[in-house]
Structure 1
Amino acid sequence: MSYPLQVLSLYKKFIKLSRNWETTVPLQSFIEKNDSLKEVRENDKQLTSGTTGLSSWQAASILASYILYDVEFNLKHNFRDKKILEIGSGCGLTGIAIKIFNNPSFINLTDGNEIVLKQLEYNVQVNDLSFESDNIAVSYLNWEEEYRDDIIYDYIIAADVVYDPSILSSLLKTISKLLQSNTSAVFIIASTLRNPETIEAFENQIGKEE
């Protein structure tokens, strides 16, 4: 079974980023529409506590910027009043930006690490979003475990999740299951080109999962 797939280019303009080095837990701030300032807490070390999810990665910044600002993309895809699930949310930069500026009806930010989920919850709240009233959720999703969700999503998004050939099978099965409930759903991914063979393997396998 094949599904809609849009692979986003890496080479898009960045969200304006600055790093606050004086805090014990760095806050990465980015300025967006209407000059509103939003902060995302992250660890400045890319690998911490056995996970990469405590840092913001380049592809997440680019994906958020692309969704917010790219005219051609926005002519094809309107996130307003849509249901969105983000895989491997990490710090939540992409998903939080989408929630604030694109106004989806619901967005579910997921990750498979409990420490990352705690930081993700903090980042949602520091951006003045309420789990009770703003239709945003933070959920545990481990690609190697069965994930149950009764919500039918319009968009599945991910940034920098294609980094290790050994996880591709589990990742693709997760994506496939999420898309099965809505054949018109669109999967959008941004990825850093570290190993061309890994990206090629992912692109060759996408859509083959039943």
Structure 2
Amino acid sequence: MDSGLPHSPSRAQPEGPAPETRRASNASLRWRILRRALVARSASSSLSPEETSHDQPDKSDSNKISRKTSRGFDLIECHVLPISQLTKSHGDSSNGNCNIVECHNDVYVCYKLPCQGSPKLNLVYRSEDSLELHDIEASNRYNVDTTGLVCCWPSEEILAYYCVNHSDMFRSKKVLELGSGYGLAGLAIAAGTDAGEVVISDGNPQVVGYIRNNISINTETFGQTKVKSMILHWDLEQAPEMISSFDIIVASDCTFFKQFHQSLAQVVKSLLKHSETSQAIFLGPKRGDSLSKFLEVIKKNGLSCELIENYDPTVWNLHKRFVSGDDRSWPNYDKEHCYPLLVRIYTCGE
């Protein structure tokens, strides 16, 4: 998976080989990166210094296969700052925020939301390239993926941007974010709209630890909106009090893994209110046939949906500039993998 944080140094990408050669080369690079992760775990006991030296990480390898820009669509102003600056202002135990730092490699990103009052959000992230083998072990144990730990993905940024620019739909609503990662979209809804309650969820307990901290350090930004985090596994039976209790469900980049399609559709059907005004808002790229397969599963579960390609003029114009090459800040931009489409899902007829 691609890794990175907003405002990382940009890098020039020269023209590469033919697509067939590039695909084979990219696959080799991915296996090489995986091997390094495994070698690092056992290097001290089973490999010679020469072998471990040979497999030291080369960041250029990750750059070559990355489709992620250094700043995504750059729709929300943000600045990456050392974690020490956050702990100085929020780390005092008297305000209950003494456990902000989850990992010594953490950084924090300060976002300025593009809405009335320009509220600011401080989010703690793992620093770039800090995913470790024990993270993969945890994902296997809980049957979840690790993408939420990698970074804030472009779809999440666009989801946050879209929600604060359509704040009226959230007024007094109970909102759930699924597969939230570090929680940017859910936190943006809590800070930039008049939602009644926002629940930010993920299936990975490590990720939910970060969500909990990010809620804690932004409490003063939420006004009267209630905000909480929770571990939510899509394939488990949900608590009775949650059934049909949410007015709006939002999610980004949650449809890539086809093995989760059925459980994701079921959790939407189970938790979304059965009313004409209730809806789920999903954002995610096509990624081959994964999105279309998800829409098929949605319909098989008795839900209705619509797919919208052009849902925001600013996002659409940026997309066209990336595709045409007029904007070269995203040199490996591919619309199938990078441009999020919007899916609206309803429990009642459209």
Match of 2:333 in 1: none
SS, match of residue 170 in structure 2 = coil
Residue 57 (str. 1) matches residue 118 (str. 2): no
Match of 2:292 in 1: 200
Unaligned runs of 5+ in 2: 1-71, 85-104, 137-145, 303-350
Distance 1:21 1:45 in 2: 16
Residue 15 (str. 1) matches residue 76 (str. 2): yes
Residue pairs, 1:166-205, within 5 angstroms = 166-179=259-272, 181-184=273-276, 185-193=278-286, 195-205=287-297
Which of 172, 180, 188 pairs up with 1:89? 180
Task: Give the drift of 1:147.
Answer: 1.4
List per-residue Cα deviations over 1:165-190 (Å, max 9, x = no partner): 121111111111112x4233101011
Q: CA RMSD in A?
A: 2.5
Which of 133, 150, 169 pairs up with 1:78? 169
Task: Give the drift of 1:208.
Answer: 2.1
Distance 1:47 1:145, change over 3 A: farther
TM-score by length of 2: 0.50
Match of 1:142 in 2: 233
Unaligned runs of 5+ in 1: 1-10
Question: Larger radius of gyration, structure 1 or 2?
Answer: 2
Letter in 2 for 1:168: H
Which of 108, 121, 130 pairs up with 1:38? 121
Match of 2:246 in 1: 153
Residue 117 (str. 1) matches residue 178 (str. 2): no
Determine which structure has the larger strand proportion and give its number. Answer: 1
Distance 1:47 1:191, change over 3 A: farther
Match of 1:164 in 2: 257
Task: Give the drift of 1:206.
Answer: 1.4
TM-score by length of 1: 0.81
Task: Give the drift of 1:114.
Answer: 0.9
Q: Is the 8 A contact 1:13 1:62 kept in 2?
A: no
Task: Give the drift of 1:128.
Answer: 2.4
Distance 1:41 1:22, change over 3 A: closer
List per-residue Cα deviations over 1:9-64 (Å, max 9, x = no partner): xx977212332367631112211243433111112348551222122111111011
Distance 1:169 1:188 in 2: 17
Task: Give the drift of 1:90.
Answer: 1.2
Distance 1:46 1:99, change over 3 A: farther
Letter in 2 for 1:157: V
Distance 1:158 1:171 in 2: 10
SS, match of residue 213 in structure 2 = helix
Distance 1:126 1:28 in 2: 12
* Aligned residue pairs, count: 192
Match of 1:6 in 2: none
Match of 1:28 in 2: 109
- Identity over aligned pairs, percent: 24
Task: Give the drift of 1:143.
Answer: 1.1
Where has structure 1 moved over 3 Å in runs of 4 or more? 21-24, 45-48
Distance 2:225 2:83 in 1: 31
Q: Is the 8 A contact 1:13 1:66 kept in 2?
A: no
